[in-house]
A = this chain, B = another copy of it.
Amino acid sequence: MTDDLQSRLRASLRAIPDYPKPGILFQDITPVLGDARLFPAIVDALAAPYRGSGITHVLGIEARGFILGGAVAVTLGAGFVPARKPGKLPWKALRETYALEYGTDALDMHEDALPEGARALVVDDVLATGGTAAAAVALVRRAGAGLAGCAFLLEIGVLEGRNRLPEDVRALLAV
């Protein structure tokens, strides 16, 4: 990951005040994804630390984690596993419930998504409080698979989400 790529990434984010609710400055990554030079470069940078480390599956978190996760999986020659919002998967699923500021949410993964001997990388666009990513990690572990790490495009440093995750947590840019 070069300083140049980090600067281009930072310059391409679109900050949207008071979205999705007052007081929140939302980082819109769609200009990053839509840039034909930047999108392949960030996917390559997300995948690079894991090349040759035996990743068999990339677990992408719905919905924006699907975009980056699918691309990272192809780059690593791995399979892709969707971690979906509850009730969206058509077959038998494991479910992990996690706390939100108000209430709870959950993440589902098919029971047979990670076979014995699998080694998974969790991918999402933004690491905020870490609740969703921690649920994804829990799904990997409940399936009996190995965890290679968690990779994000952005990390909201002040929320300290990485403290809720195991050691290998990488983000291309902290905002």
Contacts and interface: CB of A to CB of B under 8 A. Distances in A.
Contact of A34 (B64, B77, B79, B90): B79
B79 A33 contact: yes
A16 interface: yes
Contact of A16 (B68, B75, B90): B90
Contacts of A110: 30
Contacts of A62: 63
A39 B110 CA distance: 17
A110 to B, nearest CB: 6
A75 B20 CA distance: 32
A20 B90 contact: yes
Contact of A28 (B43, B57, B64, B91): B91
B30 A91 contact: yes
Contacts of A75: 74
B63 A30 contact: no
Interface string A70-98: 11011101111110100011110000000
Number of copies: 2
Contacts of A35: 79
Contacts of A80: 33-34, 39, 67, 71
A133 interface: no
Interface string A15-33: 0100110000010101001
Given A16-B90, A70-B67, A70-B68, A82 B30 contact: yes
Given A34-B79, A35-B79, A60-B67, 12 more contacts: A16-B90, A28-B91, A30-B89, A36-B78, A39-B80, A63-B63, A63-B66, A64-B66, A67-B67, A67-B80, A67-B82, A70-B71
